[in-house]
Structure 1
Amino acid sequence: MRLTMAMAAVAIFTVPFVILLVLVRTSSTPLTSLDESIALSLHAHALENPGYTAFLNVATEVFGPWTWRVLVVLTAVWLWRRGAPRLAIWAVATITFGGLLNLAVKGIVDRARPDLPNPVAWAPGASFPSGHAMGAALGVCILVLILLPFLRSPASRIAVWAVAAVIMVFVAYSRVALGVHWTSDVIAGVALGIVVVVGAAAGFETWRRGEGRRPAEPHMEGVEPEAFREGHSG
């Protein structure tokens, strides 16, 4: 049942990504119109509020893909030293695969970024899906799944997931508000990042059960809850 639910979660986030991918590839008029309308509205607000725009320019890079990569790698080093090498490898492999997948999809779709008058920010490469949005989704989800075993109460676990959601939404919003991505880019980026993490967590859970370990609920207990209850000390 738990694995079935995990696969259902993968499907739930895969569907919007696939729909957006098809609509972008076919240059859907309704999607294009919606993307352009939102982009122009947020761009006008950015031009009217230079201080807020400057804040977004800094914040979007603070929460950029390399921040999450460094944090995940540093966490993996800590996990390895604590005697949890499998979890360390899982974390690095997941964020690495996610990053490579983002580049592959960008290359295939090759969507142009917004071309707005008086741009307030600039970004290289193709637009779909957003690397920042996907990087945030990958990073926060991986780190939360590692952190969960240390949280004892359901309320604290829900709070951590809520913070993760706020970060993902903020990063996605910042990319559109700065005019470097379309709304569909960031939604697709978040969805694809979550798909990668959920799929990787489900794969790890299947391996755990193959090793004879008790079934776990990764979204509440973490990917490898026993790693922090077995006296690992590195």
Structure 2
Amino acid sequence: MLSVIPNPPRIALPIVGSEDFFPVRRVYCVGRNYAAHAREMGKDPEREPPFFFMKPADALQIVPGSEAVDHPYPPRTANYHFEVELVAALGRGGRDIPATEALDHVYGYAVGLDMTRRDVQDEAKRLARPWDLAKSADASAPIGPLHRVEGRGHPMRGAIVLSVDDISRQAGDLSEMIWSIADQIALLSTYFELHPGDLIFTGTPSGVGAVERGQAMEAAIEGFGAIRLIVV
């Protein structure tokens, strides 16, 4: 029998240098936001405006420290891909936020992964169907501790990398984003009223690829540390 919980606990991220936690509301993701990645996916980065999709908040897998954690390989796929991303966490919300004011709404940043059932996504694209089954697997959004803007600032450049079994697979720079973090927030706020607790996965550089059970992934962003996962 279902037990009703009047005030269910919220998913919350640990905050670097604090005993407090950041409660998560929604998880938005921007697609193909690095030119080289857009090209490797067969798209023209000069022509396509930004687009968004969502993951359920409980798809987050919180990686609280530097030790590797087990990451479950999901069912119904034989082509499970990694995508390292900078995640922006909003501390203020609003509608129709001007790009010139958008960064004032960011509370902090974290290292994240947008894990994807690529074969399921390819089939959805072929049939013009939604991406939900491809993007929303359990634990498909690993994320590290949150670094507050206060004292850290907003990253405009910096290495963003991912390795599998100590072999480099993705290597880019945050400055290579097609649409800046401010632009992403501004555009997203024309579709939704944004709220404190919203996360935005801001896109991945080129080099995405499959990972297998037993392999170890390390995702790192300059200034924000690294998260480590072992696929099980």
TM-score by length of 1: 0.23
TM-score by length of 2: 0.23
Larger fraction in helix: 1
Bigger radius of gyration: 1
Larger fraction in strand: 2
